[in-house]
Structure 1
Amino acid sequence: MTDVSGAGRPGADRTVTGGSGTGATGTGGEGTGGLEARLVVRRGDFLLDVALSAAPGEVVALLGPNGAGKTTALRALAGLAPLDEGHLRLDGAELAPLPAERRPVGVVFQDYLLFPHLSALDNVAFGLRCRNMSRRAARDEAARWLERVGLAAHAGARPHRLSGGQAQRVALARALATRPRLLLLDEPLAALDARTRLEMRSALRGHLDDFEAVAVLVTHDPLDAMVLADRLVVVEDGRVVQTGTPDLIARRPRTDYVARLVGLNLYRGKATGHLVRVDGREAAVTVTEELTGEVFVAFPPSAVTLHGERPVGTGARNVWRCRVAGIESHGDRIRADLTGELPMAADLTTVSAAQLRLTPGAEVWAAVEAGQTHAYPAR
């Protein structure tokens, strides 16, 4: 039942579509086990070793930087990359030995991979035809899916006549029409312009809310992950470094990469009461929490105030001497990259930046109130 179609671009890896799902729960049945996997794939010096689990109806996002192994994990789930070790169980059935065409998996690729010579209707019907459904029945079912994604009026259009958002919806309809037990989405919004992306993000969230099986989203965009997923699995260098709900990940990042994604300054150190001494530095941070042992401390760039001279009487117990390493526009604010006693990012208005004569190399004092920090155990 897998629709892993490579006919939409020159030189695509392969075209694998159809199959009856023999040997797996591949007929759109009422499997209740969800996904349980450990994906181990070696590619030269790179080793992917990622554990994944998801319940039916759950959307899990694999989030990470380029080269982290997200696409390798997706290809392993789809059957396009064999496992070197580990296992892959879906609704209690082991999928690892099965070729892609026999897996109950639907895939939406980053560039959609629609068949250029087929209409939108026949693109959606293609996977159904490969399941031995009659041409008429497949086209009737495809028409229902196009209506569901709001494209009934474009059923006869070929891909080159569709906008990016329309092509994305055709690809999603094609993947869902075969009623997969596992839906894989590879950067599904990356090819869209900003306005279309905003609209499609909301529409895709609605379709995923209605999807009763497991969905795995691969992305490097934190907003896509936060909006679309129920749970995030953050991957760096082929390993899972953090997992949790979007809210938990945003509040308690555990790596510099995650902290940057959610817009926080993050430090690790040793806490004694309300004082945290930052690892590898002379600096310490005063926090409101009373903790002991290894902890993380985080605060947003907006919590940082900059001063030309050491501030006195401000109530800020955290004050560090810093130097401006760089400045850039950040929305309607100025983002300053600071080095010195405690490296950090600070956000300020253009007026404040002008008053401070904020230029690379300038010395400033950075202050953060203890109530603006958040400390939590590192283990």
Structure 2
Amino acid sequence: MSGLRAGIGVRRGGFRLDLSLDIAGGEVVALLGPNGAGKTTALRALAGLVDLDEGEIHLGKTRLDALPVERRPVGMVFQDYLLFPHLSVLENVAFGPRSRGVRAAAARERARALITRVGLKGHEKARPRELSGGQAQRVALARALAVEPELLLLDEPLAALDAHTRLEIRAWLRAQLADFGGVVVLVTHDALDAMVLADRIVVIEDGRVVQEGAPGDVARRPRTDYVARLVGLNLYRGKAEGGQVDVGGLRLTVSEAEDEPLDGPAFVAFAPGAVALYRTRPDGSPRNLWEATVEGVERQGGTVRVLLGGPLRAAADVTPAAVADLALRPGATVWASVKATETHAYPA
């Protein structure tokens, strides 16, 4: 299984993408980041649809950026699938092999096998307009795999699906990727897609890598506000000393790993559900207590997200009943606290 080594430098006006990737064969890597971060530009550069201004792309012993698009061993699934509307499912999947010189009969035989593999046997004669979103996604993947790629590129593969179909196709796609022996690069701005589908996550902001690691590590130890919001945590940067972290003048007593004592720059993270709110200062003066102002109240499923201003800006999740009991409305003053055992502190 060939690995990918890429240095991707692209300049577009005032935007600069500087990205290095080192991906083993059989590994699925997700490029995660906000809109405009450079994720899709990176994917298109790997496919040869965007020229490099700097760097090189190597897949095994092959220098990809020296090859024209049609000769690259690359399969790509676009966000909106881009199936040919005038061709049947069978001819859509067979198109790639035929365009690369495979005889028509052999290309259709390969296409039939892939259509069966993705669970669409019996749909060979259907046109794209007759397919559901989930079925179209399966055809798009089969078409990408039909060229027998060493590098598979997925651009927001689940973004066009409704919530129910997305749940089904996400699980199905994970199983398909597990059977693919080449390199997979997945672009998404959805944290759940990245966590479920990828072996490793590379977070890109403003054209550069800000964090990378296994999904669990990224979720437990966010290093930017963007990542923290994605995984649903409050995140602060401060200075640690003696089991406490000074964050903007407020000293938080935190939970430290026994094998990783903190001293110096550190992050502190905790979930909104760990924040307790009080109308008046609670008796006993618990640790990690501060006075806050309610800046917003938003319903989120069965809970309510309360946005707090003050010395420590935070999000707190409470029940609808608590909103009434505490008279939580914009401008109200409350006391907030979080137990040290509910915090997670780690070196910055």
Regarding TM over 0.5, the answer is yes
Question: Does residue 110 in structure 1 map to residue 79 in structure 2?
Answer: yes
- CA distance, structure 1, for counterparts of residue 239 and residue 2 of structure 2: 42
1:68 paired with 2:37, answer yes
Whether contact under 8 Å (1:168, 1:188) holds in the other structure is yes
The correspondence of residues 61-100 of structure 1 with structure 2, limited to 5 A, is 61-100=30-69
In 2, the alpha carbon distance for the partners of 1:72 and 1:262 equals: 24
1:293 equivalent in alignment to 2:264: yes
Shift of 1:371: 0.5
Cα distance in 2 for partners of 1:34, 1:168 equals: 26
- 1:156-193 deviation per Cα after TM superposition (whole angstroms, max 9, x unaligned): 00101111100000000000111100000000000011
Aligned residue in 2 for 1:24: none
In structure 1, the partner of 2:230 is 261
Contact residue 2 and residue 182 of structure 2 kept, 8 A? no
For 1:293 and 1:92, the matched residues in 2 are separated by: 44
Task: Work out which of the residue numbers 223, 242, 246 in structure 1 matches 2:215.
Answer: 246
Q: Is the 8 A contact 2:75 2:149 kept in 1?
A: yes
Q: Residues 211-232 of structure 1: CA distance to partner in whole angstroms, max 9, x if unpaired?
A: 0000000000000000000000
Gapped regions of structure 2 (runs ≥ 5): none
**TM-score, with length taken from structure 1:** 0.90
- Trace 1:147-186 onto structure 2 (pairs within 5 A): 147-186=116-155
8 A Cα contact 2:295 2:307, kept in partner: yes
Equivalent AA in structure 2 for residue 238 of structure 1 = G
**Deviation string, structure 1 residues 333-373 (Cα, Å, up to 9, x no partner):** 00011100100000000011110011011111111000000
* Number of residues of Structure 1 aligned to a counterpart in Structure 2: 344
Which residue number corresponds to residue 127 of structure 1? 96
Give 1:312 shift. 2.0
Matched residue SS, 1:154? coil
Task: Quote the residue 1:145 is aligned against.
Answer: 114
What residue in structure 2 maps to residue 19 of structure 1? none
Number of the residue aligned with 2:347: 377
Q: How much does 1:136 deviate?
A: 1.1
Alpha-carbon offset, residue 143 of structure 1: 0.6
What RMSD over aligned residues (CA atoms) do the two structures have, in Å? 0.9
SS at match of 2:312: coil
Of 328, 333, 336, 1:358 maps to 328
1:342 to 290, 300, 312: 312
Structure 1 portions without partners, runs of 5+? 1-31
The DSSP-based 3-state class of the residue aligned with 1:291 is: coil
1:201 to 167, 170, 180: 170
- In the alignment, the residues of structure 2 paired with residue 272 and residue 97 of structure 1 have an alpha-carbon distance, to the nearest angstrom, of 52
1:34/1:92 contact within 8 Å kept: no
**Counterpart Cα distance in 2 of 1:64 and 1:288:** 29
> In the alignment, what sits opposite 1:324?
294
Q: Tell me which residue corresponds to 1:308.
A: 279
Please, which of 14, 38, 49 is the counterpart of residue 45 of structure 1? Answer: 14
Identity of aligned residues (%): 65
How far residue 284 of structure 1 moved from its aligned partner, in angstroms, is: 1.7
Distance 1:288 1:347 in 2: 21
The worse-fitting range, judged by mean Cα deviation, of 140-149 and 88-97 is 88-97
CA distance in 2, matches of 1:338, 1:171: 45
Alignment-mate amino acid for residue 304 of structure 2: I
Secondary structure in 1 aligned to 2:230? helix
Does 2:25 correspond to 1:56?
yes
CA distance in 1: counterparts of 2:307 and 2:61, whole angstroms? 50
Q: Distance in 2 between matches of 1:171 and 1:291?
A: 49
Q: Is the 8 A contact 2:2 2:150 kept in 1?
A: no
